[in-house]
Chains A and B, each alone.
Chain A
Amino acid sequence: DAKTTQPTSMDCAEGRAANLPCNHSTISGNEYVYWYRQIHSQGPQYIIHGLKNNETNEMASLIITEDRKSSTLILPHATLRDTAVYYCIVTYSGGYQKVTFGTGTKLQVIP
């Protein structure tokens, strides 16, 4: 799996958009970008994934650059419950493909 680089921590004001960047310059053509998060002491939670195109679901949007070397997870209106560690993971899509968690970005949403 390609290596990813994320900032260690970020703050975001409640109600504002949280933009979490991820660099994955060695991504290969058939690797996907997945985002998970872990709220303190809970199980990791799947957020969104994409291959080439931008994606949106009820939780977030994922913007992938045209060269696919970086991406941004956007939480459009951050709430206090979005305080968590966010993991950007680049991996092939396969049924028994393990998730390799790095250190992620600790997002603190501030009231």
Chain B
Amino acid sequence: EPEVTQTPSHQVTQMGQEVILRCVPISNHLYFYWYRQILGQKVEFLVSFYNNEISEKSEIFDDQFSVERPDGSNFTLKIRSTKLEDSAMYFCASSVLGPRASYEQYFGPGTRLTVT
């Protein structure tokens, strides 16, 4: 069964460094998302992406964040200058119009980002 994959599974970085989190969505999907979950808290929406542009972004998704689909398969989240509070699990998700006019999202296993 097709699945969303994410790399790396765990990333440790120093404060102020740039990180790129990578995702390979399900191949025929057209809508892409990033979410994050700080330890012990809710899963929070960051950004949605369609047709090579951002469809919606949350307040969390400030100028330090960017997303890109550099080729036909990868979807990346870049954090330019990491802060301690960026430490979280980051989930990528993708969706496509399903047979019942629905857009259920399929999530990857996540990348645990630890900022020291």
Q: Distance (Å) between the CB of B111 and the closest chain A CB?
A: 10
The answer, among B33, B45, B109, for a CB contact under 8 Å with A42, is B109
A72-94, CB under 8 A of B: which get 1 and which 0? 00000000000000000000011
Complex interface: chain B residues within 8 A of A93 (CB): 101-103
B75 within 8 A of A: no
Complex interface: chain B residues within 8 A of A42 (CB): 109-110
Chain A CB within 10 A, most for which of B45, B48, B105: B105
A and B contact pairs by CB, cutoff 8 A, 28 listed? A41-B110, A42-B109, A43-B91, A43-B110, A44-B35, A44-B43, A45-B107, A46-B104, A46-B105, A46-B106, A49-B100, A49-B102, A93-B101, A93-B103, A95-B30, A95-B50, A95-B96, A95-B97, A95-B103, A96-B31, A96-B49, A96-B50, A98-B33, A99-B33, A99-B43, A99-B93, A101-B43, A103-B42
* In the complex, residue of chain A having the shortest beta-carbon distance to the beta carbon of B95: A95
Specify the main secondary structure of chain A where it touches its partner.
Answer: loop
Q: A46-B104, A49-B104 are in contact. Are A98 and B50 (CB under 8 A)?
A: no
Distance, CA A94 to CA B107, complexed state (A): 17
A interface with B by C-beta (< 8 Å)? 32, 34, 38, 41-46, 49, 93-103
Distance, CA A96 to CA B44, complexed state (A): 15
